[in-house]
């Protein structure tokens, strides 16, 4: 027995042993996660149950496959994982069996068959240096492939910090001229799902929203769905009471660290990082980085790699001071120079001073 390619989503889920009840519950959770009204959960369930598997084309560019790992691996038996199976993933190099020319054919067929309707997922940044020659697939640059694939896309999901903001490839000195998808494509709806890697439920949430309402969810200024990136890690962090009390771990193995105190002094970027880790958590809700004892790196923010070092507290200088010693010297020199000038003036005034004699007064 094989999965029916044309079956509705719910039928396929049932085929995989997911009951209607579990599915409804999942939709309700998703809706509440996305801060949608309770009625949206039902609407979502109905829409998703009826939805034909949308065609999804996934192109990997300058990336490390961490995003794919995040989505496929951590959730295998969960509904999110299955929903993800339920989309018609027509092209994904890492997951597909086809290779070489076969793969290229699959890509072009998927694009033609679903012209104007498919969802394009990009992970990885786009190299623009040397006309994009730094990153090629099947003899074509990512830049070319992106422009072509974007033309027929209904919407684009820039998955992971590299596709969303350039990520690690864009870190100084950015040898490949890496840029974000949104730097190249200007005329299509793009939703950024940053994170290094992003949280799996965020992408299924965005897909579910798209299938239910036919539109992308509300985005913030940086193109991220507000529902998941509306609050900082620090806002929702369970260590926050320690921050407020001024109880900080000073090293990774001191008493404070063992007691679970705040990691701010160890460089936690939670206060400036908008992501859902603290509420959704990772690995099916098992834990998340700060709970595991390491500060947040700020991975869902643009240029997190160049934000002054992972282990430096946010209030500390991002770079070593370069000019201050020179400035101190210059200040001292200026002070001494003025002193010399002042003394000279005083000396001159003294020299010019004429003593008044009695005779002068009687004149």
Q: What tokens does 221 get?
A: 């200024």
Contact at 8 Å (CB) between 126 and 146?
yes
Number of residues in the chain: 363
Nearest residue (CB) to other proteins, 126 versus 268: 268
Contact at 8 Å (CB) between 181 and 164?
yes
Helix 200-213 / helix 66-73 crossing angle, nearest 10 deg: 80
| Chosen residue from 189, 230, 260, 271 binding ligand SF4 by CB under 6 A | 271
Nearest residue (CB) to ligand SF4, 169 versus 200: 200
Start-end of H helices in the chain: 9-15, 20-33, 38-50, 66-73, 79-86, 100-113, 142-151, 160-165, 181-184, 200-213, 226-229, 233-236, 240-245, 255-258, 277-280, 324-352, 358-362
Least Cβ distance, residue 192 to ligand SF4 (angstroms): 14
> Which residues share a beta bridge with 282?
287
Cis peptide upstream of residue 197 (ω within 30 degrees of 0)? yes
Binding mask 287-326 for ligand SF4 (x = CB under 6 A): --xx----xxxxxx--------------------------
Binding mask 171-210 for other proteins (x = CB under 8 A): ----------------------------------------
Helix 79-86 / helix 20-33 crossing angle, nearest 10 deg: 100
Binding mask 165-204 for ligand SF4 (x = CB under 6 A): ------------------------------x---------
| Chosen residue from 127, 209, 234, 302 binding ligand SF4 by CB under 6 A | 234
Q: Whose CB is nearest to ligand SF4?
A: 270
What are the contacts of 334-343 at 24+ separation with CB within 8 A? Answer: none
Burial of 157 (0-12, 13-18, 19+ CB in 10 A): buried
Nearest residue (CB) to ligand SF4, 189 versus 260: 260
Q: Is 24 in the site for other proteins (CB under 8 A)?
A: no
The candidate with the shortest Cα–Cα distance to 127, out of 194, 65, 221, 60, is 60
Binding mask 301-320 for other proteins (x = CB under 8 A): xxxx-xxx---xxxxxxxx-
Where do contacts with other proteins occur on this chain (CB under 8 A)?
222, 232, 234-235, 243-246, 248, 264-265, 271-272, 274, 298, 301-304, 306-308, 312-319, 321-324, 326-328, 330-332, 334-336, 338-339, 342-343
Where do contacts with ligand SF4 occur on this chain (CB under 6 A)?
195, 233-234, 237, 239-240, 243, 262-264, 268, 270-271, 273, 275, 277, 289-290, 295-300
């Amino acid at each position: 027995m094989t999965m029916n390619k044309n079956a509705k989503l719910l039928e396929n889920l049932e085929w995989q042993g997911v009951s209607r009840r579990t599915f409804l519950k999942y939709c309700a959770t998703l809706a509440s996660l996305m801060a949608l009204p309770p009625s949206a959960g039902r609407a979502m369930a109905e829409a998703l149950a009826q939805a034909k598997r949308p065609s999804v084309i996934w192109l990997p560019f300058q990336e490390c496959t961490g995003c794919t790992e995040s989505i496929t691996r951590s959730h295998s038996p969960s509904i999110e994982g299955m929903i993800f199976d339920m989309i018609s993933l027509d092209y994904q190099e890492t997951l597909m069996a086809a290779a070489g020319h076969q793969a290229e054919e699959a890509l072009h067929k998927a694009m033609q068959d679903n012209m104007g309707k498919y969802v394009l997922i990009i992970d990885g940044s786009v190299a623009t240096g040397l006309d994009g020659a730094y990153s090629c697939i099947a003899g074509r640059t990512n830049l070319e492939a992106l422009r072509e694939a974007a033309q027929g896309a209904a919407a684009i999901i820039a998955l992971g910090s590299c596709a969303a903001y350039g990520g690690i490839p864009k870190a100084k000195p950015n040898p490949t001229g890496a840029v974000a998808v949104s730097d190249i494509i200007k005329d299509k709806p793009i939703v950024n799902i940053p994170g290094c890697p992003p949280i799996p439920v965020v992408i299924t949430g965005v897909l579910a929203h798209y299938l239910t309402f036919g539109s992308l969810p509300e985005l913030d200024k940086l193109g991220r769905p507000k529902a998941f990136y509306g609050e900082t890690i620090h806002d929702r962090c369970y260590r926050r009471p320690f921050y407020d009390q001024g109880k900080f771990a000073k090293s990774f193995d001191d008493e404070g660290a063992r007691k679970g105190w705040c990691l701010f002094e160890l460089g936690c970027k939670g206060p400036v990082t908008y992501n859902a880790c603290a509420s959704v958590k990772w690995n099916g809700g098992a834990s998340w980085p700060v709970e595991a004892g390491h500060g947040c790196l700020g991975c869902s923010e643009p240029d997190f790699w160049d934000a002054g070092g992972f282990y430096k507290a946010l209030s500390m200088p991002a770079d070593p001071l370069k000019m201050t010693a020179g400035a101190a010297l210059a200040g001292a020199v200026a002070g001494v120079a003025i002193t010399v000038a002042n003394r000279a003036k005083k000396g001159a005034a003294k020299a010019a001073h004429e003593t008044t004699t009695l005779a002068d007064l009687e004149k």
